[in-house]
Amino acid sequence: TDRYCVFGNPISHSKSPLIHTAFAAQTGEALEYTAIEAPLEDFAGAWQRFVAQGGCGANVTVPFKEEAFRLCDTLSQRARRAGAVNTLLLGKNGLTYGDTTDGVGLVRDLKHHGVVLEGARILVLGAGGAVRGVLEPLLATRPKSVFIANRTAAKAAALAADFADLGVIQGGGFDAVVGPFDLVVNGTSASLSGELPPLPDALFAPGASAYDMMYGAEPTVFLRWAEARGARVIDGLGMLVEQAAESFFLWRNKRPETGQVRAALRRELE
Ligand code: ATR
């Protein structure tokens, strides 16, 4: 049986084994998918050991995406842009190929929810690894404009400059945010601590959507704030399932149907 896993630290709460096991059952692929806690100081060693034990590929999550990027022999264009890898694939030649499917996952989930991206005015909150990882696929949908707002304004400006060849994109501090926007994506880790970036009240255009890359049993502070201001709110559960489906496709060349897994995960959360 072909072996796959997700590496993280911590990893015990990962939904990836459940998702990929469901994808395998649905597509009739014989594979085993487990969660492995890699040591913080030796991610490369964990991957090598897994390969030695018959591993064919892996997902990579916090805090190893940048380290995974560094160990790859070859990289997809979007992974090179992201500077991070969430999908490892062992080639027949024994070389490690790295890709990142987070951005495709976000875009697929937005489309799944009927959010129109082409021509949209998009605000992205945060300028860390999570945001860098999704910018290329987001810009590929041809939005009207993207503004990156971050607590550390210089980081947002630098990030925007890195992607300026792909579309109309600018960055700055939260005080530089001028709405209205058709879509606001929260990619900060502020939700984790229940905090909300300082944002103007008049942020959303009529019919606008608010998306949080995080998810949980309860809506995040950001989504509650957005809902109170009239936005349609979507959490990051679908992004998790869609990025997984894209990784599965890279490994097995089969595209799983994501609806059932979405529904199962949602039920499990409640
Ligand atoms: P990740 O991989 O989740 O993107 P990261 O690269 O450490 O993690 O980036 C975290 C992001 O969340 C950054 O944009 C950070 O803002 P700074 O660049 O100013 O540090 C943002 N962030 C974290 N905690 C925050 C808070 N309490 N309020 C606002 N932004 C916060």
What are the domain boundaries of the chain?
2-100+238-269, 103-235
Q: What is the pLDDT of residue 158?
A: 98
What is the whole-number distance in angstroms between the Cα of residue 190 and the centre of ligand 1?
6
Question: For residue 130, what is the DSSP state?
Answer: H
Candidates 250, 230, 249, 47; CA nearest to 258 is: 249
Candidates 128, 121, 252, 240; CA nearest to 182 is: 121
- Domain 2-100+238-269 and domain 103-235, same fold? Reply is yes
- Percent of the chain topping pLDDT 70: 100
**CB-facing half-sphere around the CA of 104: CA atoms within 13 A:** 18
Residue 111 designated active-site: no
The 10s digit of each residue's pLDDT in 191-217 is 778 889 899 988 999 999 999 999 999
Instruction: Report the Cα–Cα distance between both ends of the chain, in Å, rounded.
Output: 33
129 is known to lie in a ligand binding site: yes
The fold of 2-100+238-269 is Rossmann fold (3.40.50)
Q: How far apart are CA 4 and CA 8, in angstroms?
A: 13
Amino acid (1-letter code) at residue 144: K
Cβ of 61: how many Cβ atoms within 10 Å? 20
Answer yes or no: is the C-beta of 153 below 6 A from any ligand 1 atom: no
Q: What is the pLDDT of residue 76?
A: 97
What is the whole-number distance in angstroms between the Cα of residue 230 and the centre of ligand 1?
25
Strand spans (E) along 20-153: 31-37, 55-60, 74-75, 87-90, 96-99, 121-125, 145-149
Q: Does domain 103-235 have CATH number 3.20.20.70?
A: no
Measured from the Cα of 189, ligand 1's closest atom is 12
Strand spans (E) along 83-216: 87-90, 96-99, 121-125, 145-149, 169-172, 181-186, 204-212
The burial class, CB within 10 Å (0-12 / 13-18 / 19+), for 147 is buried
On whether ipTM exceeds 0.90, the answer is yes
Q: What is the pLDDT of residue 229?
A: 96
